[in-house]
Chains A and B, each alone.
Chain A
Amino acid sequence: GAVVSQHPSWVICKSGTSVKIECRSLDFQATTMFWYRQFPKQSLMLMATSNEGSKATYEQGVEKDKFLINHASLTLSTLTVTSAHPEDSSFYICSARRDSVVAQHFGDGTRLSIL
């Protein structure tokens, strides 16, 4: 089945640090990937849609200069949280969709803690 790998699983860092999270589709090409965020005891919220070779589309209220997305190949999208602060602490999870297939496959998520 479709496998999506996300790295790292855990990040703990100091306030002001920039953190990069990688999302890879291991056995299929994904023109489109998605980034979601989940705060404790809450549901998942779509942050942005990552399109290979073009700019990402951000949901309302998500700062594009804060959350930089790069989708340079058909198997890799990265999310960089720039100058992270404690309020950015959250669970970040990506998904990928095979071209011509609707269902999304999710990575295992990255738990980000900013001290």
Chain B
Amino acid sequence: GIQVEQSPPDLILQEGANSTLRCNFSDSVNNLQWFHQNPWGQLINLFYIPSGTKQNGRLSATTVATERYSLLYISSSQTTDSGVYFCAVGGGADGLTFGKGTHLIIQP
């Protein structure tokens, strides 16, 4: 099956800092989604981005499908950005394969 690798596994930053999270995947995909899992376990859908670039406020994402990677950018971090960020990929109609996540801690 498809492999998904996320880096870094852990990231500790001061409030106000910028960060880049990376997701590499081993095969072509029709679905790539970025999620933020909050401390209560809820998966917040950040982006559906199988290719191209999108922005939503302080967050943006870019997927280069031909090179099989995606990047999630967080600017001007806030403590509420803390949590686990997951990248998940799939073939379209299939279930998603999740990476192991990046555990982000934003310190005040």
Question: Which residues of A are in contact with B by a Cβ distance under 8 Å?
Answer: 32, 34, 36, 38, 42-46, 49, 59, 91, 93, 95, 97, 102-106, 108-109, 111
Contact A102 B45 (CB under 8 A): no
Known: A36-B98, A102-B48, A103-B48. 8 other contacts (CB 8 A): A32-B93, A43-B99, A44-B43, A91-B41, A93-B43, A105-B45, A106-B43, A108-B42
Chain A interface secondary structure, helix, strand, loop or mixed? Answer: strand
Residue contacts A-B, CB under 8 angstroms, 18 given: A34-B96, A36-B95, A42-B100, A43-B99, A43-B101, A44-B43, A44-B96, A44-B98, A46-B96, A49-B94, A49-B95, A93-B41, A102-B50, A102-B90, A102-B92, A103-B48, A109-B41, A109-B42
Task: Check: B75 CB closer than 8 A to any chain A CB.
Answer: no
Known: A93-B43, A111-B41. A102 touches B31 (CB 8 A): yes
Chain B residue numbers with a CB within 8 Å of A109 are: 41-43
Chain B interface secondary structure, helix, strand, loop or mixed? Answer: loop
Q: Of residues B48, B50, B94, which shows the largest number of chain A Cβ atoms within 10 Å of its Cβ? A: B94
Contact A103 B95 (CB under 8 A): no
Q: How many Å lie between the Cα of A113 and that of B40 in the bound state?
A: 15
Q: How many Å lie between the Cα of A34 and that of B98 in the bound state?
A: 13
Nearest B residue to A48 via CB reads B95
Contact A106 B45 (CB under 8 A): yes
Q: How many Å lie between the Cα of A3 and that of B31 in the bound state?
A: 19
Q: How many Å lie between the Cα of A106 and that of B43 in the bound state?
A: 7
Tell me the minimal C-beta distance from A48 to chain B in angstroms. Answer: 8
